[in-house]
Chain A
Amino acid sequence: AQSVSQHNHHVILSEAASLELGCNYSYGGTVNLFWYVQYPGQHLQLLLKYFSGDPLVKGIKGFEAEFIKSKFSFNLRKPSVQWSDTAEYFCAVNLLGNYGQNFVFGPGTRLSVLP
């Protein structure tokens, strides 16, 4: 079965530190890739997405992610985190051709940024 794994369950950083959250998926076909963020008490919001073209995609709030097809990875990065980035981050994979059950989510990574 297709799956999405995220490398860390909980990441703790100080403000201004650099961030990289790992995401790997197991599916040999064509995929679309997403990162969602859930701030405390809020709903899931789309951070960025990759469909095709340049494998380095820029999202909101200074986040970016790089799709490396050979590694089945879509890691999320931010050069300098802020306290307001404290949230839970979910990687999701959209499996082309698999109608309906086409969004597979990772287990999430909780990011805590210390002021």
Chain B
Amino acid sequence: DGGITQSPKYLFRKEGQNVTLSCEQNLNHDAMYWYRQDPGQGLRLIYYSQIVNDFQKGDIAEGYSVSREKKESFPLTVTSAQKNPTAFYLCASSIDTRAVNQPQHFGDGTRLSIL
């Protein structure tokens, strides 16, 4: 079945450490997104990518980095510069950001906690 796979499901980070969250999709979607979900705040956009080798900052990109070397993959690195990284991270994809009436498909999420 086509879908989005995020791994790991749970991740623990020591202070000062960088960690990378994986997101893979087999939907042949051009656009991919990373969101952060905090209680009572809904989803906030961290980074998005419209096409391979291109990505743009979202609303809360500070302390995060991404890459898009392959269409299927859009890993997110939470760097030590992110002061409050404990959250639930969701990856999403859609056919094309320009096809604005296409809904996003979401992965199951990764819960990141600081030790």
Tell me whether A43 is interfacial, beta carbon within 8 Å: yes
Check if B106 sits within 8 Å of A103, measured CB to CB: no
Tell me whether B58 is interfacial, beta carbon within 8 Å: yes
Q: Which of A37-55 contact B (CB under 8 A)?
A: 42-46, 49, 51
Given contacts A90-B42, A108-B42, contact A99 B101 (CB under 8 A): no
Q: How far is the CB of B6 from chain A (nearest CB, A)?
A: 9
Q: How far is the CB of A41 from chain B (nearest CB, A)?
A: 9
Check if B100 sits within 8 Å of A106, measured CB to CB: no
Given contacts A44-B90, A51-B101, contact A105 B109 (CB under 8 A): no
By a beta-carbon cutoff of 8 Å, the part of chain A in contact with chain B is 4, 9, 32, 34, 36, 42-46, 49, 51, 90, 94-97, 99-103, 105-108
Cα–Cα distance between A71 and B65 once the two chains are bound (Å): 39
Most chain A CB within 10 A, of B4, B59, B101, is at B101
Given contacts A99-B98, A100-B50, contact A43 B45 (CB under 8 A): no
Check if A105 sits within 8 Å of B107, measured CB to CB: no
Q: How far is the CB of A30 from chain B (nearest CB, A)?
A: 9
Task: Report A-chain residues with C-beta under 8 Å of the C-beta of B109.
Answer: 43
Q: For the A-B complex with A46-B105, A99-B97 known, give 9 more contacts whose Cβ atoms are closer than 8 Å.
A: A42-B108, A43-B4, A43-B107, A45-B106, A49-B101, A100-B48, A101-B48, A103-B33, A107-B40
Query: Could you list 24 A-B pairs, sorted by A, with CB under 8 Å?
Result: A4-B42, A32-B100, A34-B103, A43-B107, A43-B108, A44-B106, A46-B103, A51-B101, A90-B42, A94-B101, A96-B100, A99-B100, A100-B50, A101-B45, A101-B56, A101-B58, A102-B97, A102-B100, A103-B33, A105-B35, A105-B42, A107-B40, A107-B41, A108-B40
Q: How far is the CB of B10 from chain A (nearest CB, A)?
A: 12
By a beta-carbon cutoff of 8 Å, the part of chain B in contact with chain A is 4, 31, 33, 35, 40-45, 48, 50, 56, 58-59, 90, 92, 97-98, 100-101, 103-109
Task: Report B-chain residues with C-beta under 8 Å of the C-beta of A51.
Answer: 101
Cα–Cα distance between A51 and B50 once the two chains are bound (Å): 21
Cα–Cα distance between A46 and B92 once the two chains are bound (Å): 12
Q: How far is the CB of A111 from chain B (nearest CB, A)?
A: 15
